[in-house]
Structures are given as C-alpha cells and as structure tokens.
Amino acid sequence: MTIQQLRLPLSIKPSVSQRPDLPYRTRFKSALAGDLNFHGKNSAYASHNFHSFPAKFPPQLPRKFIEWLTNPEDLVLDPMMGSGTTVLEAFLLGRRGLGFDIDPLALRLCKAKVTPASLQKVTDAGYQTLEQANIALQHDATSLATLLDNRFDGATREFVDYWFLPETQLELMALICEIEKVQDVIIREFLELAFSAIIITKSGGVSMARDLAHTRPHRVSNKTPRSAIAQYRYRLKKNIQSLVELIAGKGNVILLEGNAQSLTLKDNSVDLIITSPPYAANAIDYMRAHKFSLVWFGYPIKELSQLRRQYIGGESLVDVQLLEMPDYPAQALAKIAKRDKKKARVLHRYYSEMTRCLSEMYRVLKPGRAAIVVVGTSTMRGLNTETHICLGEIGKNSGFDLVDIAVRKLDRDKRMMPARKNAQPNSQIEERMHEEYVIGLYKTTDRLLKGDQLCLKKSDGEFCLRPESMMRCLTQSARPG
Ligand SMILES: C[S@@+](CC[C@H](N)C(=O)[O-])C[C@H]1O[C@@H](n2cnc3c(N)ncnc32)[C@H](O)[C@@H]1O
C-alpha cells in the first residue's frame, strides 16, 4: 500500500448546541439531559479502533462533555482510562489529556493511539516486518522454534501452549522478532499494537480462545485459528489508514501508570473528569484477556496474575479494607448479604474502592467543575445492585453535588458487556443490563476537601470542618467468611 492510497483526514466537526451562553452548571445539566445513546454514529474514527477493548464507551460521549464544558488547553482527566477514549478525544479537540491505568496493555495501547507516528515510516517498517517474518517462516523455521523455546518461563510456556497452536506460535514468534528489531520506539509501539490486536479480538483472535472480549475465555478445541500473518497484514493496513485521521489532533496527552485510588496529582488541578470504572465482582476481567498478548511482550504469567489483584472490583477479599458506606449502598449491601454474604463482601470491596476513587476525583478537580462517571449495573443473586444510585450516593458523600444520573441505551451490537448466564429475555433486570448510567457530579465552589474531611464554606468565606470523618474504616483486614 502506498501513502497515496490512504483516505484523507476526516474533518471532525464540533457538535452544534454547546450553549456557551449558559452558566457552567446549567450547561452540564443540559448536556446530561440530551441524547447520550449515539446509536448509528461512527465510533471508529481516528485511532479509536486500533485495538478492541471491553466496555469502552463511544467517543461521542467524552467528546460531548469536553466540547460543552472545557476550553482549548484545559486539562481533562480519566483516572481509569482503559483504551483511552477520553484522552484521545481530549487530544483530537486540542485539550490536554491526562490518563491513569494499572493495566500494562491499556497503557501501551493508549500511547500508540495518541501518538501520530510518521505514515511513511510505519508503512515502510510495517510491510518490512511482514516480509521478513514470511522469509523466516519459510527458510528458518528451526531457528524460530529455538527462539520460541527460550522465550518463556515454565508457567508462561504452559499458558502459551494451552492457548496457541504450535503453527500459530511460530507465526507470532516470527512477527514479534521482526517487530522487536525496529529501532524507532514510536514505530515499534505502533506495530506492537497491531500485533496485539490480532490476538485480542471478540472471537479470540489467533488463539484457541472463544469470546476473549468478554474476558471469560474458553478453549475451543475444534477452532481453526486464522493465520497470524494474514491477520497482521489486515490489521496493519487498517491501523495505518486510521492514523491519517489521528494526525489532525492538536492537543497533548500524558499517560501514567497509576492507581485511581491514590492519584499523584495536586489538589484542584483538573478541569474535567470523564471516566468509566470496571464492573463490580470482576464481571469484566481485563487481565484475564490481556495476558494473551502481554505474554508475547515479555510479561511472565505469574507477574500478571499478581497485578490482577489490584484491579478495582476484584473478587479477592484478602487484605482489603472495607469502608463504612452511606445509607443507600449500606442497605443494598445488607439485602444482598441476606442471600449471599460472600457476594455482599465482594460488592462492598468494590464500593470501598470506588469511595477512594471518588474522593481522589473530588480532591484533584477544580472547584466549579464536573466529573462524569459512566457505569452499568449488575445482578447479584437475582438482585439488581443499582450501582449507579450507590455510586451517586458515594459521590455525594465524597463532597460532590449529584447533578443528575442520565440513562443511555447500549448499542447491543457494539459495546462488549459481561455475558450473563440464564438471563430471562425481556425481564426488567435484563433490560437494565442493556442500559448504562452517566452519573453527573459537580464540585461546588463552596466546599473543599481537606485531608479526609469535608469542609463547608461559611457565609463569611471561612471554611469549617464537617465533624464526621468521611472515610472511616470498618475493618482493617477483612477476610472471606
Ligand atoms: C471500563 S474500563 C475503561 C474503559 C474506557 N472508558 C474506554 O473507553 O476504553 C476500566 C479500566 O479501569 C482500569 N482499572 C482497574 N483498576 C484500576 C485502578 N486501581 N487504577 C486505575 N485503573 C484501574 C482497568 O484496567 C480498565 O482499563
């Protein structure tokens, strides 16, 4: 493919009614009240589709709030950035994007998605890697097999052998060896992303897994995986085409490995937050899917399993600190505990972690600014967890004003959601699984959070401490039971 064959950049038009005449909070409310479904809209522009990612939100969602609520160069934060939809939109709209995640694949793919690599260089290097990998497969398969033998430790080797056929392993080895030879870091990372994208797909890509997107992989013995070489060629072409649109971006982005529960940011420093946390109880288990490609980048499987424990919404109850909850989530937890104590504790862990995240969001956000948290709800032992209402309450307890909770209908064909066993078609709960909630939080100018205490502004302009501590710890080290 030559550069001349590529499509020209799309002009990304701003949405119409942003109402700059309205006061900020009214504008925020009005943005929440408008259409947030975005059905039928193209979500694949720029680099948004470089790589699949479960439960990413449509780019139109962060775009709308960025356009309505920020000015060029404002700082837009996503503390759990996932595939980087928010930070990429900030970049395309000429804002400063700031993203955190603990997932190594999320960090890698965000970086490639916001870096407009040279078209000529990626095209040349990309097709060179393909050509050389083919040559190695045809003429030097024995050396490739030796390299493959030495690449993984014992446990990682077992994992790779279970999930990838020997012929696929050889093809992947040939490709990764050629990609690793590329000196230019930006180009190499672009190619690594194309490599990863052929492994992590809805259908399990070139592995023997099915349904990787739902991060509940099952090995399918009768699957005939597609050729890794052919898939890489296809993906490379697609990503190079998308790169053309990325080049139109005018902003800049900082991506950091970091935990959303303790952000390395100054108080009152961010202009807008748009984020979507993981589901409770590991409904989407990111690491379980991402390790399929991370092992090829040199991550030992044991290290990845350790990291998995740090993900918000995990199921382990070892060494977790459960926090006291406000009324609504406390009652919801009590109802679930009547049916299943363990499940209630897992959900309690999630709400405790989200309490820390929301407190951090409150701390780093400038007064008079908005935070948007997009969540789905789930069912536990037949009860709807009403996650959106619980998180809204926790947000209020962290100091925010709850402006509204908007509902958006998921495009069933697009968004990859947790699969549910034994779902009753058309039941009310099942309907809710196809909805998502956009929680609109606002940090007023008359409150400040100092340490772990909420301060209210008095009429004379002084701040006083609210008496009760906000994050009282219920247990030091809760254990399953
Ligand atoms: C629902 S996804 C975000 C999807 C994102 N909105 C998008 O459009 O791609 C949630 C993300 O939270 C990240 N995450 C989980 N625990 C975290 C933590 N403790 N700190 C930061 N990020 C975390 C996961 O790795 C995952 O990438």
In this prediction, residue 340 has a pLDDT band, given cuts at 50, 70 and 90, of very high
Residues 387 and 241 in one domain: no
* 20, part of any domain: no
User: What is the reported pLDDT for 216?
Assistant: 64
* 477, part of any domain: no
Q: Answer yes or no: is the C-beta of 311 below 6 A from any ligand 1 atom.
A: yes
* CATH number, domain containing residue 265: 3.40.50.150
Q: Summarize pLDDT for 365-376 with one digit per residue, the tens.
A: 999 999 999 999
Quick one: which atom of ligand 1 is closest to the CA of 53?
A: 9
Helix axes 286-294, 301-308, angle to 10 degrees: 160
Residues 427 and 341 in one domain: yes
Q: What percent of the chain has pLDDT over 90?
A: 67
% helix, strand, coil for the chain, step of 5: 45, 15, 40
Q: What is the dihedral of CA 198, 202, 204, 205, to 10 degrees?
A: -20
- Cα 284 to Cα 128: distance, rounded to the nearest angstrom: 36
User: What is the reported pLDDT for 244?
Assistant: 86
pLDDT at 478 over 50: no
User: What is the reported pLDDT for 472?
Assistant: 34
The mean pLDDT value for 224-253 works out to 91
In this prediction, residue 452 has a pLDDT band, given cuts at 50, 70 and 90, of very low
The mean pLDDT value for 412-426 works out to 51
Contacting residues for 187 by C-beta, under 8 A, at least 6 apart: 117, 118, 121, 122, 125
Q: Answer yes or no: is the C-beta of 106 below 6 A from any ligand 1 atom.
A: yes
Residues 215 and 77 in one domain: no
- Cα 57 to Cα 59: distance, rounded to the nearest angstrom: 6
* 47, part of any domain: yes
Q: Answer yes or no: is the C-beta of 88 below 6 A from any ligand 1 atom.
A: no
Distance, CA of 190 to chain centre:
19
Residues 242 and 262 in one domain: no
Q: Answer yes or no: is the C-beta of 102 below 6 A from any ligand 1 atom.
A: yes
pLDDT at 462 over 70: no
Q: Summarize pLDDT for 138-164 with one digit per residue, the tens.
A: 999 999 999 999 999 999 999 999 999
Q: State the distance from the centre of ligand 1 to the C-alpha of 6, rounded, in angstroms.
A: 33
Return the best residue to mutate from 43, 64, 80 for the ligand 1 pocket (most ligand atoms within 8 A of CB). Answer: 80
Q: Answer yes or no: is the C-beta of 262 below 6 A from any ligand 1 atom.
A: no
Residue nearest to atom 12 of ligand 1 (CA): 80
Residues 66 and 30 in one domain: yes
Residues 399 and 261 in one domain: yes
User: What is the reported pLDDT for 447?
Assistant: 62
User: Hey, what are 226's tokens?
Assistant: 């597609």
- Cα 283 to Cα 313: distance, rounded to the nearest angstrom: 8
Q: State the distance from the centre of ligand 1 to the C-alpha of 380, rounded, in angstroms.
A: 22
The mean pLDDT value for 246-255 works out to 89
- Cα 477 to Cα 320: distance, rounded to the nearest angstrom: 6
Return the best residue to mutate from 102, 356, 377 for the ligand 1 pocket (most ligand atoms within 8 A of CB). Answer: 102
User: What is the reported pLDDT for 204?
Assistant: 67
Residue nearest to atom 7 of ligand 1 (CA): 56
Q: Summarize pLDDT for 64-93 with one digit per residue, the tens.
A: 999 999 999 999 999 999 999 999 999 999
Domain count across the chain: 2
- Cα 168 to Cα 160: distance, rounded to the nearest angstrom: 10
Residues 228 and 372 in one domain: no
Q: What is the dihedral of CA 172, 178, 181, 187, to 10 degrees?
A: -90
Q: What is the DSSP letter of 6?
A: S
The mean pLDDT value for 399-408 works out to 97
Q: Answer yes or no: is the C-beta of 83 below 6 A from any ligand 1 atom.
A: yes
* 289, part of any domain: no
* Residue of 415 and 299 predicted with greater confidence: 299
User: Hey, what are 214's tokens?
Assistant: 């739902």
For the chain, the straight-line distance linking the first and the last C-alpha, in angstroms and rounded, comes to 60
Q: Answer yes or no: is the C-beta of 80 below 6 A from any ligand 1 atom.
A: yes
Q: Answer yes or no: is the C-beta of 310 below 6 A from any ligand 1 atom.
A: yes
Q: State the distance from the centre of ligand 1 to the C-alpha of 314, rounded, in angstroms.
A: 12
- Cα 344 to Cα 373: distance, rounded to the nearest angstrom: 22
Residues 134 and 220 in one domain: yes
* 163, part of any domain: yes
* 110, part of any domain: no
Residues 419 and 348 in one domain: yes
Q: Summarize pLDDT for 292-322 with one digit per residue, the tens.
A: 999 999 999 999 999 988 899 888 888 889 9
The mean pLDDT value for 403-427 works out to 66
- Cα 85 to Cα 52: distance, rounded to the nearest angstrom: 12
In order, the DSSP letters of 138-178 are HH-HHHHHHHHHHHS-HHHHHHHHHHS-HHHHHHHHHHHHH
Contact call for residues 456 and 399 (beta carbons, < 8 A):
no
Domain interval for residue 383: 26-101+253-277+312-465
pTM of the model: 0.88
pLDDT at 199 over 60: yes
The three-state secondary structure class of 197 is helix
Q: How many CB atoms lie within 10 A of CB 315?
A: 17
Residues 272 and 394 in one domain: yes
Q: Amino acid identity, residue 218?
A: H
Quick one: which atom of ligand 1 is closest to the CA of 103?
A: 25
pLDDT at 328 over 70: yes
The mean pLDDT value for 220-238 works out to 89
User: What is the reported pLDDT for 295?
Assistant: 98
* 21, part of any domain: no
Helix axes 85-92, 60-69, angle to 10 degrees: 50
Integer-rounded Cα radius of gyration of the chain: 23
Residues 456 and 317 in one domain: yes
- Give the closest residue to 314 by CA, choosing from 16, 99, 103, 476: 103
In which residue are the tokens 């902003």 written?
251
In which residue are the tokens 């309505």 written?
68
- Cα 224 to Cα 25: distance, rounded to the nearest angstrom: 54
Quick one: which atom of ligand 1 is closest to the CA of 310?
A: 19
The region, left, alpha or beta by phi > 0 then psi within -120 to 50, assigned to residue 282 is left
User: What is the reported pLDDT for 21?
Assistant: 81
Please list, residue by residue across 357-372, b when 16 or more beta carbons sit within 10 angstroms of its beta carbon and e when fewer do.
Answer: bbbbbbbbbeeebbbb
- Cα 327 to Cα 323: distance, rounded to the nearest angstrom: 13
Q: Which of 203, 228, 246 is the endpoint of a domain?
A: 246
Contacting residues for 322 by C-beta, under 8 A, at least 6 apart: 345, 348, 349, 352, 473, 474, 475, 478
Residues 404 and 267 in one domain: yes
* 316, part of any domain: yes
User: What is the reported pLDDT for 4?
Assistant: 36
Return the best residue to mutate from 63, 101, 259, 352 for the ligand 1 pocket (most ligand atoms within 8 A of CB). Answer: 101
The mean pLDDT value for 314-339 works out to 93
Q: State the distance from the centre of ligand 1 to the C-alpha of 284, rounded, in angstroms.
A: 10
Strands 453-457 and 383-384: unpaired
- Cα 78 to Cα 361: distance, rounded to the nearest angstrom: 9
Helix axes 387-397, 327-339, angle to 10 degrees: 140
Q: State the distance from the centre of ligand 1 to the C-alpha of 263, rounded, in angstroms.
A: 14
User: What is the reported pLDDT for 248?
Assistant: 81
Contact call for residues 475 and 98 (beta carbons, < 8 A):
no
